[in-house]
Amino acid sequence: MVAPRRQRQGDFRVKTVFVVGAGPAGMFAAQKIAQAGHEVVVFNRDIKPGGLAEYGIYPTKDKMKTGLRKQFAKVLALPNVHYLGHVQVGESCPVSIKELREFSPAAMVFSVGAQGAKQLGLPGSDARGVYSAKDFVYYYNQLPPYPSQDFSTGKRVAVVGMGNVAIDVAHWLLVDDPNHSTDEVIIIARRGPFEAKFDKKEFEFVDAHFDRAAFQEELKRIQPQMTAAGQDAAGLAQSTFPALAKPDPGACKPRLLFRFLCSPKAIHKDANGRINRLTVTENILVERDGDVSAKATDKTADVEVDTMVFAIGDTADPTLGLPYNKDAYITNPNSPPNDPKHASYEVFDPQPGRVMEGVYVVGWARKASEGLVGIARHDGEVGAVEVLKYLESVPDGNAPPVDQIIHKLKSKGLRIVVKADLECLARAEEKQARQRGLPWFKYSDDEAMLAAIEAER
Ligand X SMILES: Cc1cc2nc3c(=O)[nH]c(=O)nc-3n(C[C@H](O)[C@H](O)[C@H](O)COP(=O)(O)OP(=O)(O)OC[C@H]3O[C@@H](n4cnc5c(N)ncnc54)[C@H](O)[C@@H]3O)c2cc1C
**Which residues of the shown chain bind ligand X in the complex (CB under 6 A)?**
20-26, 43-46, 51-53, 56-58, 61, 88-90, 111-113, 115, 137, 165, 168, 320, 363-365, 371-373, 376
Give the residue closest to ligand X by C-beta: 23
Q: How far is the CB of 383 from ligand X (least distance, A)?
A: 10
Q: Note whether 15 and 397 are within 8 A (CB).
A: yes
CA 253 from centre of chain: 30
Q: Note whether 280 and 297 are within 8 A (CB).
A: no
Q: How far is the CB of 136 from ligand X (least distance, A)?
A: 9
Q: For the chain, how many residues are written?
A: 457
Cα 65 from Cα 71, distance rounded (Å): 10
Q: How far is the CB of 326 from ligand X (least distance, A)?
A: 19
The closest of 45, 41, 61 to 53, measured between CA atoms, is 61
Cα 42 from Cα 316, distance rounded (Å): 19
Q: How far is the CB of 4 from ligand X (least distance, A)?
A: 27
Q: How far is the CB of 192 from ligand X (least distance, A)?
A: 24
Between 20 and 284, name the residue whose CB sits nearer to ligand X.
20
Write out the DSSP string of 97-158: HHHHHHT--SEEEE-----EE-----TTTTSBTEEEHHHHHHHHTT-TTGGGS-----SEEE
Q: How far is the CB of 3 from ligand X (least distance, A)?
A: 27
Between 219 and 322, name the residue whose CB sits nearer to ligand X.
322
Between 112 and 399, name the residue whose CB sits nearer to ligand X.
112
Is residue 349 packed enough to be buried (19+ CB in 10 Å), middle (13-18) or exposed (0-12)? middle
Between 129 and 383, name the residue whose CB sits nearer to ligand X.
383
Give the C-alpha distances (Å, rounded to integers) separating 31 from 35, 71, 76, 227, 440: 6, 10, 8, 52, 27
Q: Note whether 448 and 49 are within 8 A (CB).
A: no
Between 37 and 113, name the residue whose CB sits nearer to ligand X.
113
Between 71 and 283, name the residue whose CB sits nearer to ligand X.
71
